[in-house]
Amino acid sequence: MKLSRTSFALMATLLAGTALPTSANATVTVLGWPGGSEETALRATVETYNTQASDADKVELLFFNREGFYDKLQADMAAGSSAFDVNLVATYSLGRYAPYMEPIDLGADAAKVFGESVLKTMQFDGKQYGVPTDLSLHFMYYRKDLIDALIRDDAARKTYGEIAQKYLGKPLQPKDPDSWTWDDWGATALYFTKRVNPDSPVRYGTVLQMKNLLFNMMVFQSLPRSYGGDWMDKDGNVTVDSDAYRTGLELYKKLYDAGSSPKDSLSYEYAETNAAFASGQAATALQWNAAAADLTSTEKSPAVAEVTGIIAPPAGPDGRADHIHGLGLGLNKNAKNKEGAVKFLKWLATEDAALLYARSGGSPALSPDVVGKVAKERPDLVKLGEFASKYGYVMTGATSASALPVYELQAKEFTGYWSGQQSLEDALAHTKAGMQDLLKK
Amino acid sequence: MALVTRAEGRKYLTPLVGFLLLFLGFPAIVNLIYSVSTVTFETLRSPVLSGFGNYVAVLNDREFWSSAWFSLRFGILTASAECLIGLFLAIFLAPLLSKRPVLMAPLMLPLMVAPAMVGLMYRLVLHEFAGPVPYYLFEWFGDSPAFLDIDNAFRTLVVVETLQWTPFAFLLFYMAYSAIPLDVREASSLDGASPFEIVRWIDLPLMKPTLVIAFFIRFIDGFRVFDNVYALTGSGAGGSTTSLSIYIYQAFFKEGAIGKAVAASVVLFLASFIVLHGLNRLAGRRKL
């Protein structure tokens, strides 16, 4: 009997020990975007917040893999998970997650920090669902030293012209990258390909992100967009089988088949592309703006930091186009610590927090007055605002609840074409049929 | 006289049966309902019965069959390679290990790594600009193959799986090999049998049950592969490295086709049940 009483007491102590800390040390759990500059910036920002927050409001960060992130988030939120109080949300998935979130009031100052248009990237049905932490678009990164040398060297210019004629069927000449068309970029990529031009100082002309992954479709689609491509027309008909998409898909395949991009490009995404460009063995790379901090850092990318130029993606017949979307943090409807979560989100929307986030490597889209305060340390943020306003676009239908499955479908079908498993006609037909099915839902 | 009466047997089995009903029976029933329903993430708690359309969709889906073919090939190839290499190592290293058992520890290390971590590790190791393997291949031969392109991805995945799980087969085979009495080998040796003949006619027949069990455990693991493939290549260009597990995951999460995904898992369960039941009956006959 004595033994069982002792056991009972021990068990009670054990249970109390596990239960009590939860109520006594309430914190705000934030589920962030893993693995990139967003994670680094959020960690640094939260560290500062925690030095001034009370114990009950301290923030704990939670990250899981980028792979399948939105699927896991959807399953968690649909199941009513309270494992996190604040969750990541993106412009293209806001409609999908809004039913599981609560709107928040960020106060009047938020508009002064971010500007109304940026706040709108986190609005759904007229309500604010999140603090816009990062604006994402794409930069064309290129090697200034290589392009300058090419433009100055007559023999190299001649070779460039011959390669352009042979592979693209066009008599092109090297030019300033800021005035590139996609053909100019393609010819440059071919010129700097060792397999095409054995005299190339680098192994590859570009780095194509061709893994079967939805984010890679966002990188790719600015090419067809600049040729007038869109997901749907005004009447809601799917138009993915347009000449614009054909041109874009064919150019990617041509470059990949010619060896202009690393052989494993079909397994490349953000991290692999950064590593390839930072190695100094690629002349260009169309990559997310988030990579700018790393690729221009002499510590992280010593081989290319001082010779990396940044421009908007090249132009097509319809001018330049740059995919744009916002990432932000919002309030989980089932949050355990809503009060603490709202406090953190409101603080995150202040100027001090936004500047801290920017200085820590994040990419917030800030109003001109605010961005001026970090322009010296983060010149890329100035470009971010400029490119977003001049060339930013969202495909028709790309904010619907089916946007992510559409990207998934395109990733599967387009990579099937690039890898030679199916014809262009089949890839476009499958994509069109799938999109019609998804977008009518 | 029976050691345990029928009533006692029932009493002892009750917790186990309760556990199985709770943790296996409930999800199984939910799965069966979902598989014949129209259901989305928003209607998880209120599925609408819609007949066997999900099963028809799965069986008519060419991707289901191609992923089944991928899993079958992957399972057979990796199980065969792991068992052959594991068997060779077990017999080859047995004299050394009997004197230095501590060497078992490093040989077992790959088993300690989570498969998803193995996938991520090889993603780095095989990267042309960050990985040591392509680096040295460029240094020595001036070129490096594309380990993860459409032609090589399957082979690379098989090698990665084999490297991680061969120690498992090796461990089983080494134990079975060590359990064979030495006097049997000595007797055959005195009768003039060569080392090869001893392995062929003495060791392998005595190790046969272990060989069969190891092969099937490894086949099942290979057939249901998910983590390392998903971390290394995802579902592959055009879905070329989609295993059945990845197919079900994608149908569930990416397409939001919950009914179809669950129907596919039920089909997989039935196929596995038939195969395992058949094997069980075969084993039963042999005993008789």
> What pLDDT is stored for residue B203 in this prediction?
93
> What pLDDT is stored for residue B2 in this prediction?
66
The total number of residues shown for chain A amounts to 441
The alpha carbon torsion through B39, B40, B43, B45 (nearest 10 deg) reads 70
C-alpha distance from A264 to closest chain B C-alpha (Å) = 5
> What pLDDT is stored for residue B1 in this prediction?
56
Q: In terms of DSSP bridges, do strands A284-288 and A138-143 run parallel, antiparallel, or are they unpaired?
A: antiparallel
Q: Which residues of A touch B150 (CB under 8 A)?
A: 266, 419-421
User: Contact, B225 vs B73, CB < 8 A?
Assistant: no
CB contact residues (below 8 A), chain A span 185-224, against chain B: 210-213
What is the pLDDT averaged over residues B14-22? 89
Alpha helices (H) along B100-131: 104-108, 115-125
C-alpha distance from A100 to closest chain B C-alpha (Å) = 10
* Per-domain residue ranges of chain A: 2-137+325-393, 138-323+400-439
The residues of B whose Cβ lies within 8 A of any Cβ of A are 41-42, 44, 123, 126-130, 144-150, 153, 230-240, 249-250, 253-256
> What pLDDT is stored for residue A282 in this prediction?
97
Name the band, by pLDDT with cuts 50, 70 and 90, for residue A255.
Answer: very high
Reading the block at residue A288, the tokens are 């997310």
CA-to-CA dists, residue A170 to A160, A165, A204, A258, angstroms: 11, 5, 21, 16
Q: Which residues of A touch B239 (CB under 8 A)?
A: 212, 412, 416
The residue in chain A having the minimum alpha-carbon distance to the alpha carbon of residue B254 is: A405
Residue B71 CB neighbour total at 10 angstroms: 22
> What pLDDT is stored for residue B180 in this prediction?
93
Which CATH number describes the domain made up of A2-137+325-393?
Answer: 3.40.190.10
Alpha carbon distance A44, A37 (integer Å): 11
The residue in chain A having the minimum alpha-carbon distance to the alpha carbon of residue B63 is: A412
> What pLDDT is stored for residue A16 in this prediction?
44
Which are the contacts of B12, defined by CB distance < 8 A and separation ≥ 6?
B4
| Contact assignment for A212 to B253 by CB distance below 8 Å | no
Alpha carbon distance A416, A434 (integer Å): 15
Q: Which of B130, B144, B234 sits opposite A213 (nearest CB)?
A: B234
Name the band, by pLDDT with cuts 50, 70 and 90, for residue A15.
Answer: very low
Alpha carbon distance A37, A60 (integer Å): 18
**Of the candidate ranges A341-355, A409-423, B22-36, the one whose mean pLDDT is the lowest:** B22-36
Name the band, by pLDDT with cuts 50, 70 and 90, for residue A348.
Answer: very high
| A145 touches B: beta carbon within 8 Å | no
Question: What would the pLDDT profile of A75-88 be if each residue is shown by its tens digit?
Answer: 888 888 999 999 99
> What pLDDT is stored for residue B91 in this prediction?
93
The residue in chain A having the minimum alpha-carbon distance to the alpha carbon of residue B125 is: A272
- Residue percentage of chain B with pLDDT more than 90: 57
> What pLDDT is stored for residue A439 in this prediction?
86
Name the band, by pLDDT with cuts 50, 70 and 90, for residue B4.
Answer: confident
| Contact assignment for A68 to B236 by CB distance below 8 Å | no
Question: What would the pLDDT profile of B132-144 be if each residue is shown by its tens digit?
Answer: 999 999 999 988 9
Mutate to test the interface with A, among B43, B67, B127, B226 (most CBs of A within 10 A): B127
Alpha carbon distance A121, A95 (integer Å): 11
- Residue percentage of chain B with pLDDT more than 70: 97
Name the band, by pLDDT with cuts 50, 70 and 90, for residue B93.
Answer: very high
The residue in chain A having the minimum alpha-carbon distance to the alpha carbon of residue B43 is: A78
Name the band, by pLDDT with cuts 50, 70 and 90, for residue B285.
Answer: low
The residue in chain B having the minimum alpha-carbon distance to the alpha carbon of residue A194 is: B143
Q: Which of A267, A418, A422 sits opposite B148 (nearest CB)?
A: A267
The alpha carbon torsion through B274, B277, B281, B283 (nearest 10 deg) reads 120
Statement: residue A152 has pLDDT above 60: yes
What is the pLDDT averaged over residues B173-198? 92
Which CATH number describes the domain made up of A138-323+400-439?
Answer: 3.40.190.10
> What pLDDT is stored for residue A118 in this prediction?
79
The total number of residues shown for chain B amounts to 288
What is the pLDDT averaged over residues A265-288? 95
Which are the contacts of B133, defined by CB distance < 8 A and separation ≥ 6?
B125, B126, B144, B147
Statement: residue A142 has pLDDT above 80: yes
Statement: residue B78 has pLDDT above 90: yes
Statement: residue A23 has pLDDT above 70: no
C-alpha distance from B76 to closest chain A C-alpha (Å) = 24
Which residue segments constitute the domains of chain B, with CATH numbers given?
50-283 (1.10.3720.10)
Statement: residue A405 has pLDDT above 90: no
User: Contact, B144 vs A279, CB < 8 A?
Assistant: no
> What pLDDT is stored for residue A21 in this prediction?
39
Reading the block at residue B119, the tokens are 């996938």
> What pLDDT is stored for residue B264 in this prediction?
94
Which are the contacts of A265, defined by CB distance < 8 A and separation ≥ 6?
A207, A208, A209, A210, A256
| A67 touches B: beta carbon within 8 Å | yes
Q: Which residues of A touch B127 (CB under 8 A)?
A: 264, 272, 275
- Residue percentage of chain A with pLDDT more than 70: 94
Q: What is the mean pLDDT of chain A?
A: 89
What is the pLDDT averaged over residues A391-397? 85
